[in-house]
Chain A
Amino acid sequence: MKFLIDDVTVYFPYDYIYPEQYEYMVELKRALDARGHCLLEMPTGTGKTVALLSLISSYALARPSPPLKLLYCTRTVHEMEKTLAELRLLHSHLPPTHRSLALGLSSRKNLCVNPIALSSASRDSVDSACRRLTASWVRAAAAEQPPGAVPTCPFFEAYDRAASSGPDAVLLPPGVYTLGDLRALGREKGWCPYFLARQMIRYANVVVYSYQYLLDPKVAGIISREMQRECVVVFDEAHNIDNVCIEALSVSVRRQTLDGATRNLHRMAQEIDRFKATDASRLRAEYNRLVEGLAQRGNLALTDAWLANPALPDDILKEAVPGNIRRAEHFLSVLRRLVQYLKGRLQTENVETERPVDFVASVSSQAGIDQKMLRFCYDRLHSLMLTLEITDTDEFLHIQTICDFATLVGTYMQGFSIIIEPFDERMPHIPDPVLQLSCHDASLAIKPVFDRFQSVIITSGTLSPIDLYPRLLNFNPVISRSFTMSLTRDCICPMVLTRGSDQLPVSTKFDMRSDPGVVRNYGRLLLEMVAAVPDGIVCFFVSYSYMDGIVNSWNEMGILQDVMQHKLVFIETQDVVETTLALDNYRRACDCGRGAVFFSVARGKVAEGIDFDRHYGRLVIMFGVPFQYTLSRILIARLEYLRNTFQIKEGDFLTFDALRQAAQCVGRVIRSKADYGMMIFADKRYSRHDKRSKLPGWILSHLRDAHLNLSTDMALHIAREFLRRMAQPYDKAGTGGRKTLLSQEDLEKMGEGVMDMF
């Protein structure tokens, strides 16, 4: 369908539209008009993604100059695939003259088609196998020697030849390209899909990629460097965006890292000796370049690009590299001293927390490395690696981590802390010392994005309380709104279960979680539900260790066997391959009518991005409140920082964080208004107002007072009733005063109504 919002013709790929989608688009358009940032919370299951894509694409068509580009950030590759599929649907409804180019970008591992590079199983080797075949000096060597003597990548060579005659030669025809499409195209034309995609993102109208490609300065520095200001950046499912920002600027150093770094340094010393003997001029050239103040060697070949500086672009020093690390051997000895110092620090018996200032002072006094040298470590290492022509980069990741750490600790004095822990507190018997540089300020990493791009849209199903995000991320949205959901029928049914079938309270509080009574009550709940609910059921637990424990107990109690009488059981594990296969099987079990239960973990990979819509999830049970491990040092440090800087209370933040995870977990159950699902919050703490009120409005508005304090048998009764009600045919368009489905005429009428009002 096609309709007008103010002066923009919006192309929407369906025949009907939800009223909230329409409102969402109206708000979005205002934000785009104002060229400002916005924050929009809209319930899951109301077609957020398609509304976003449709409005922004239509807006770009209506205002062709300056050309507006959409950078759509997803958290995971599978979400990227989903987005591209929606985009493809939209494209088939755009007018044919206005076709644009949209593509997804991912790593070499997901795009490479070279059989040699692919055959290497682990991911680092795809990366370095590629470099081994495509590094500029390798190609130069191949050009000099007879063909076949030095192996190169035929796909890259073909692409390079095609691209050398100008970018138009490799320009893709308009359309939507998923990763699979890019691979297929690469195979067909014999071009390297990865570098093709890297090249094409400059010309594409829509680019879908991962958060880190914008937020992590190391990655953004090479991939998103050339994006113009006229971009609309969308962070979808952005409720965890603060965590992503913090991760982007955090580094941890373990004993293995330091050992590996020592080996790396040894090897580099050997390389330097070799070069000194054979090609001393090269080292001298590097020295001269550094004297001139060029840390980077001008324009690098595309294939030589390495991870960029971990510090944010504004904070990188624009000076010459200090004299005492210009010579390769001197630099190596500085690194050796640093590694030695860190090794010493790791041998501590106690937990130590330090501010970066103190740490830098201590490095300076004990290892003789001043702050400026620390800041240049990363660039200097990069330069040295290029000079030494090192291709097997994954061998050198350890020293890279050390230099990353050094640069960050030398650059930032505020919003960071250094924490040294001799062991994980949850497993005190296993010594595993870690030195962590952790960032507490989420606004640091996202600041360049807000500054650089015209509009940044942060959206998710769970952004409650919506006033917290602008504080955490330190920006001023022009529009910040939370939408509710207009339902044709009560197709979601949230419940709070506080008691088991024996009327004793259930909870995952620390003092109760291992109580066999609670474990049994949780098991009985699941057992009753698998017998009553058709198709798929998803269960979320607060952590992996808790899930392992409770599943083992259920197995011993015989509850698991009883559950298996009704449905097949699949479990998320920490092994992603296994989890993916389990999910695939789970879907097949639901498809074939066998029915299945999926055990998953809040904050886990599954909770982040897998939809359990329609028959894949008729019921979600959230066992417990997914609080973070509150004794974690990093969390304590972060809470302290939040309290001092943003005046956010610890308790409030912890509850907010737990409840956004819980809401995220249960929100996966519904995808459209025709869909239906139940949500059970199984913990007595959910019945308290201070906890519950942090849930997003669209869940709260369906949480009736009668459903706030249920026991297992009552919940079962409600579930049966609900399922029976949902099985009845209903009128999709909504009856009575409120329409829940708008057709083109409805929209036109609304438009006229608005005209009349003005």
Chain B
Amino acid sequence: MAVINMAAKYKTTVKEPGTPGVLRMSEDKFIFVPNDPRSAMKLNVDFRNIKGHKFSKDGSKQALLNLTQDSEKGGGYIFEFDNFSDRNVCRDFVGKVLGKFQAMMSSKQNEQLVPEKPAATVHGEQLSTTEMELRMKLLREDSELQKLHKQFVIGGVLTESEFWATRKSLLDDDAQRTAKQRAGFKSAMLADVRPSTDGRTNKVTFSLTPEIIHQIFAEKPAVHRAFLNFVPSKMTEKDFWTKYCRAEYLHRTKNSVAAAAEAAEDEELAVFLKHDEILANEARHKIRRVDPTLDMEADIGDDYIHLPDHGILRDGSKETADAENEFARRTLSQDLNRHAAVVLEGRALDVELGDTRTAAEALARSKQELSTEISDEKTNQERMEKVSRMTEIEDLQAPCSLPFAPLCIKDPREYFDSQQANAFKALGDTGGGITPVDCSLKTEEAYIYLLEQISEVKVRGLNKPVVQPEAALKVLNGLNPYLSSTKYHLGKNPQECVLDRLPNRTKDELMHHWTSIQELLRHFWSSYPVTTAYLYNKVLRLKDAMAQIYHKLQEIKESVQSDFRHQVSLLVQPMLQALDAAFAHYDTEQQKRSVKSGNKPNGFVQ
């Protein structure tokens, strides 16, 4: 941002005449130099001391700008400018600068909560304001992120830059997304411009914005064409829109006689009032592609049925159309239909809506492309498929399988075996009761054994069961609900999650710890290999933080009610394992280091 020099008078109160001089504003401070070098009214103020700015209204007596030091006391630096445009330039500048400072302040306030600001100065990273704002915004929007930020950055575990370094993609993504999204047309009928009257005179005011104009072009091709034809060769843009608004006004007042009279005199005006023939052509074109089960147009003009004047013309159920008047034919219904159709089609062009002419031309281009690209054959095919799909009654049909991509496993045996091995290992870890049995039987042996068993049963029958069937069933039933409830439901049912059954507090804590652990581990592993003292410190800090969480997790595990203990421990298990792995790594590294540099027992802090 540049520096601004502007002639102004400095005053301490509004009433006094003030000292003429030059106000010079830069990004961090403003300086006032009086014209009279002897004057004592020299100023050199840092913007950081300025809390706000006030200004007089445009068109009021004096063009004032008041930079307040303290919003409560009201005192400040008052400058009077020669004219309002000068003042406005300064005002805008001050506004920007102050805005920036405020953003910085608020972000600093967050940081100020930190008792000591350890590493911020180490890197000495200087942030641009936009980046700062973006970060603030992200934190505001995402409460989880904010929590993490508070816990680690403000808690001193991580520095600001470290915290954001892993979230670069978030920052970039956000910036891109905002730029990429293309807004469609507004649902509101902008093209239906409503005139406003001031109530005193007969003047009627229409206000058009680029957005409205664009919508008018899209919804009224006749106006669009007229614009391309007439402007600027025949009339100026302003004249064109004046004429358009006049036509709209005539239409709105439903004064068809006056409309007809005006149209007769002015052929350009008539364009706006007449029936839009481009639309009619388009409709004729489109009607051929309409779904045949909707096509009511096919009914009219059945050569044997619709003779004119056959049937009852004027009975109680029918209505006769209004008299055919070329100018009265455009109705609100048509406008509504047209508007909705245009909104549905969406906006086809990417042009900034600044210049009307370019917008009009771009629209014309996009229309041409549209008309050429659609091939009839394909749409026909699609239409037929749609019709046949629509005719089927879905619930009488056997449930059709949804389309899915088959899972592709390169070596099924390996995959399933390893899965099984994992499962066994997990069981062994937790249950610890199963000892591997040597099951290496040969196929023939197994076959013979089975055969013997079967023949035995055949001979004797199952008359002597080991357990009474009723008792067995009872036990089975008794065991089943519990088994099935956890083992079966775990992760199977997307609607019901184990977490939902835990008490809310425990659940929140667990979730929070989980995210914290993730964050810490990410930083922890990314710090290896430890090459600098800075990293060494960081790892140390991270380890301490992790140890704290580790203890907390243990506490949760023990404090939780017995009903949930199993589930909680299942949930906590992977977290603890991950932490254990990290600690183990840390210890081995530490050992290696101490072995390498035995003479430096405290690491190599210089």
A122 contacts the other chain (Cβ, under 8 Å)? yes
A122 & B301 in contact (Cβ 8 Å cutoff): yes
B315 contacts the other chain (Cβ, under 8 Å)? yes
Question: Which of B298, B314, B333, B387 contacts A551 (CB under 8 A)?
Answer: B333
Are A109 and B395 CB-contacts (below 8 A) given A76-B296, A436-B312, A570-B336? no
Give Cα A429–Cα B395 distance, bound, in whole angstroms.
55
Return chain B residues, CB-CB under 8 Å to A574: 319, 321
Nearest-neighbor residue (CB-CB) of A12 within chain B: B396
Are A47 and B392 CB-contacts (below 8 A) given A82-B293, A570-B340, A571-B337? no
Give Cα A86–Cα B296 distance, bound, in whole angstroms.
19
The distance from the CB of A603 to the nearest CB of chain B, in whole angstroms, is: 5
Give Cα A545–Cα B388 distance, bound, in whole angstroms.
37
A78 & B395 in contact (Cβ 8 Å cutoff): no
A564 & B187 in contact (Cβ 8 Å cutoff): yes
Return chain B residues, CB-CB under 8 Å to A671: 393
A219 & B305 in contact (Cβ 8 Å cutoff): yes
B398 & A15 in contact (Cβ 8 Å cutoff): yes
B395 & A674 in contact (Cβ 8 Å cutoff): yes
Give Cα A307–Cα B308 distance, bound, in whole angstroms.
13
* 255-300 of chain B: CB within 8 A of chain A: 283-284, 286-287, 290-300
B310 & A401 in contact (Cβ 8 Å cutoff): yes
A544 & B312 in contact (Cβ 8 Å cutoff): no
B555 contacts the other chain (Cβ, under 8 Å)? no
Are A555 and B332 CB-contacts (below 8 A) given A252-B312, A570-B340? yes
The distance from the CB of B273 to the nearest CB of chain A, in whole angstroms, is: 18
B291 & A584 in contact (Cβ 8 Å cutoff): yes
B309 & A634 in contact (Cβ 8 Å cutoff): no
The distance from the CB of B282 to the nearest CB of chain A, in whole angstroms, is: 9
Question: Which of B286, B303, B343, B393 contacts A109 (CB under 8 A)?
Answer: B303
B393 & A223 in contact (Cβ 8 Å cutoff): no
Return chain B residues, CB-CB under 8 Å to A454: none
A451 contacts the other chain (Cβ, under 8 Å)? no
B309 & A401 in contact (Cβ 8 Å cutoff): yes
Return chain B residues, CB-CB under 8 Å to A106: 298, 302
Return chain B residues, CB-CB under 8 Å to A561: 188-189
Among A228-236, A353-361, A420-428, which stretch is in contact with chain B?
Answer: A420-428
Nearest-neighbor residue (CB-CB) of B184 within chain A: A594
B393 & A565 in contact (Cβ 8 Å cutoff): no
Return chain B residues, CB-CB under 8 Å to A581: 283, 286-287, 290, 337, 341
Return chain B residues, CB-CB under 8 Å to A672: 393-396
B457 contacts the other chain (Cβ, under 8 Å)? no
B395 & A741 in contact (Cβ 8 Å cutoff): yes
The distance from the CB of A555 to the nearest CB of chain B, in whole angstroms, is: 6
Return chain A residues, CB-CB under 8 Å to B294: 78, 580, 583-584, 587, 610
Give Cα A155–Cα B284 distance, bound, in whole angstroms.
25
Give Cα A741–Cα B399 distance, bound, in whole angstroms.
13
Return chain A residues, CB-CB under 8 Å to B340: 568-570, 582, 585, 589, 596
B298 & A78 in contact (Cβ 8 Å cutoff): yes
A623 contacts the other chain (Cβ, under 8 Å)? no
A180 & B333 in contact (Cβ 8 Å cutoff): no
Return chain B residues, CB-CB under 8 Å to A481: none
Give Cα A504–Cα B255 distance, bound, in whole angstroms.
35
A85 & B388 in contact (Cβ 8 Å cutoff): yes
Return chain A residues, CB-CB under 8 Å to B302: 77, 106-107, 109-110, 123, 210, 212
B461 contacts the other chain (Cβ, under 8 Å)? no
* 301-325 of chain B: CB within 8 A of chain A: 301-321, 323
The A contact surface, by secondary structure, is: helix
Nearest-neighbor residue (CB-CB) of A437 within chain B: B312
Give Cα A427–Cα B320 distance, bound, in whole angstroms.
9
Interface residue count for A (Cβ, 8 Å)? 118
A685 contacts the other chain (Cβ, under 8 Å)? no
Give Cα A375–Cα B317 distance, bound, in whole angstroms.
30
The distance from the CB of A1 to the nearest CB of chain B, in whole angstroms, is: 9
Are A577 and B304 CB-contacts (below 8 A) given A246-B312, A569-B336? no
A107 & B313 in contact (Cβ 8 Å cutoff): no
B344 contacts the other chain (Cβ, under 8 Å)? yes
B299 & A577 in contact (Cβ 8 Å cutoff): no
Give Cα A564–Cα B388 distance, bound, in whole angstroms.
32
Question: Which of B300, B343, B391 contacts A123 (CB under 8 A)?
Answer: B300
The distance from the CB of A81 to the nearest CB of chain B, in whole angstroms, is: 4
Give Cα A721–Cα B311 distance, bound, in whole angstroms.
47
B334 & A397 in contact (Cβ 8 Å cutoff): no
B307 & A180 in contact (Cβ 8 Å cutoff): no
The distance from the CB of A757 to the nearest CB of chain B, in whole angstroms, is: 27
Give Cα A638–Cα B292 distance, bound, in whole angstroms.
36
* Chain B proximity mask over A559-575: 1 for CB below 8 Å, otherwise 0: 01100110011111110
The distance from the CB of A345 to the nearest CB of chain B, in whole angstroms, is: 15
Question: Which of B296, B320, B387 contacts A605 (CB under 8 A)?
Answer: B296
A107 & B301 in contact (Cβ 8 Å cutoff): yes
The distance from the CB of B277 to the nearest CB of chain A, in whole angstroms, is: 13
B387 & A582 in contact (Cβ 8 Å cutoff): no
The distance from the CB of A99 to the nearest CB of chain B, in whole angstroms, is: 18
B331 contacts the other chain (Cβ, under 8 Å)? yes
A44 contacts the other chain (Cβ, under 8 Å)? no
Give Cα A732–Cα B337 distance, bound, in whole angstroms.
38
Give Cα A741–Cα B304 distance, bound, in whole angstroms.
43
A17 contacts the other chain (Cβ, under 8 Å)? yes
Return chain A residues, CB-CB under 8 Å to B321: 574
The distance from the CB of B253 to the nearest CB of chain A, in whole angstroms, is: 13
Among A280-288, A364-372, A624-632, which stretch is in contact with chain B?
Answer: A624-632
Return chain B residues, CB-CB under 8 Å to A77: 292, 295-296, 298-299, 302
* Chain A proximity mask over B172-205: 1 for CB below 8 Å, otherwise 0: 0000000000000001110000000000000000
B143 contacts the other chain (Cβ, under 8 Å)? no
Return chain A residues, CB-CB under 8 Å to B310: 247, 250-252, 401, 404
B548 contacts the other chain (Cβ, under 8 Å)? no
* 417-453 of chain A: CB within 8 A of chain B: 421, 424, 426-427, 430, 432, 434, 436, 438
A584 & B316 in contact (Cβ 8 Å cutoff): no
Question: Which of B287, B291, B316, B395 contacts A628 (CB under 8 A)?
Answer: B316
B559 contacts the other chain (Cβ, under 8 Å)? no
Give Cα A653–Cα B317 distance, bound, in whole angstroms.
14
A438 & B315 in contact (Cβ 8 Å cutoff): yes
* Chain B proximity mask over A87-125: 1 for CB below 8 Å, otherwise 0: 011000000000000000011111000000000011110
* Chain B proximity mask over A188-223: 1 for CB below 8 Å, otherwise 0: 000000000000000000000010110010110011
B312 & A585 in contact (Cβ 8 Å cutoff): no
* 58-85 of chain A: CB within 8 A of chain B: 76-79, 81-82, 85
B319 & A544 in contact (Cβ 8 Å cutoff): yes
Nearest-neighbor residue (CB-CB) of A613 within chain B: B390
Give Cα A218–Cα B292 distance, bound, in whole angstroms.
27
Question: Which of A246, A580, A609 contacts B290 (CB under 8 A)?
Answer: A580
A14 & B397 in contact (Cβ 8 Å cutoff): yes
The distance from the CB of B75 to the nearest CB of chain A, in whole angstroms, is: 48
A16 & B396 in contact (Cβ 8 Å cutoff): yes
Return chain B residues, CB-CB under 8 Å to A434: 313-314
B319 & A545 in contact (Cβ 8 Å cutoff): yes
Nearest-neighbor residue (CB-CB) of B304 within chain A: A219
Return chain B residues, CB-CB under 8 Å to A274: none
Give Cα A515–Cα B189 distance, bound, in whole angstroms.
26
Nearest-neighbor residue (CB-CB) of A252 within chain B: B313
The distance from the CB of B476 to the nearest CB of chain A, in whole angstroms, is: 27
A210 & B305 in contact (Cβ 8 Å cutoff): yes
- Among all A-B residue pairs, the 10 with the closest Cβ atoms: A123-B301, A628-B316, A14-B396, A674-B395, A632-B316, A77-B298, A247-B311, A635-B316, A252-B313, A107-B302
11 contacts between A and B (CB under 8 A): A76-B298, A421-B314, A434-B313, A544-B319, A551-B332, A568-B340, A574-B321, A577-B287, A580-B296, A581-B287, A589-B340
Chain B residues in the interface with A (C-beta under 8 A): 187-189, 283-284, 286-287, 290-321, 323, 331-334, 336-337, 340-341, 343-344, 384, 387-388, 390-398
* Beyond A247-B311, A544-B319, 9 extra complex contacts between A and B, CB < 8 Å: A16-B398, A123-B301, A257-B308, A307-B304, A397-B308, A401-B308, A580-B295, A582-B341, A589-B344
